[in-house]
Amino acid sequence: MDRMEKEIEKIVFLMEIKKEKHVFSKEILPSHKKRMDDISNTIYKDYDPKKFMNLSFPEGDDIKKEIEDLKSIEVDKEKVEKLDEVQDSFEKLLKKNGIKAPSNMMSELIKKSGSVILKLKYHYNRPRPFQWAKENNVELNGVDLESSQSPSFPSGHAGQAVITALVLSELYPELEEKLKDLAQEISYSRNMAKVHYPSDTKVGKEVARDMFEYLKESGELQKLFKKYEIKKKSKG
């Protein structure tokens, strides 16, 4: 049994002992388990997320402050749905600036980064804001998104958006500010939709920055560029 298999077993065990607590789900979706099992065969094969395994987030009465923060955000359903597609959002930005998007590379980066974040999601198994609201009879008008079918903490969209912006900034440094602004928009849209707490998006961004440093330091980022025959531009 390799390290990843042991980690998955640990997640299943933790979910079992939390059955009496309020959690997102008592089961891991088969498609999600498959993605987590496959991490050892990806660009993140040597990435260790353990530094993010002992975090805390608001629970009990403390969660009410986050709920109130979410309730104060005016919902723009059209914007939320548009930004729900991370890759498409970045591709449109690149196209607007006359750049043909490296779509295949982006797809691998986004999917595999999401798999790592899924592992953290099921480790914490935090319920979504709309679950808490329903259980506590609180009106929380959000947006129903298919992409919210996983535990809440940390935010996968925030993480995927930030790491995409960081990687694309390596390739197109002249667009760095616009790319990072888009990542922030995507992250915030998850709060606007009421599918993530502010603490979810905050940590999602932190995980993304850590994964980016791993990709650079391990050489996996350069391997990814080479795989898709992408040449990095120099700044200045």
Q: State pLDDT tens for residues 86-136.
A: 999 999 999 999 999 999 999 999 999 999 999 999 999 999 999 999 999
Torsion (CA) 94, 99, 104, 107 in degrees, nearest 10: -10
Domain map (residue ranges) of the chain: 3-43+64-227
For residues 37 and 105, the answer to whether their CB atoms sit within 8 Å is no
| pTM recorded for the entire structure | 0.88
Token readout for 146 is 């298919």
Mean pLDDT of 25-36: 92
pLDDT tens string 152-171: 999 999 999 999 999 999 99
Nearest to 120 by CA among 148, 147, 150, 145: 150
3-43+64-227 carries CATH number 1.20.144.10: yes
For residues 63 and 165, the answer to whether their CB atoms sit within 8 Å is no
pLDDT of residue 62: 86
Token readout for 101 is 């998007």
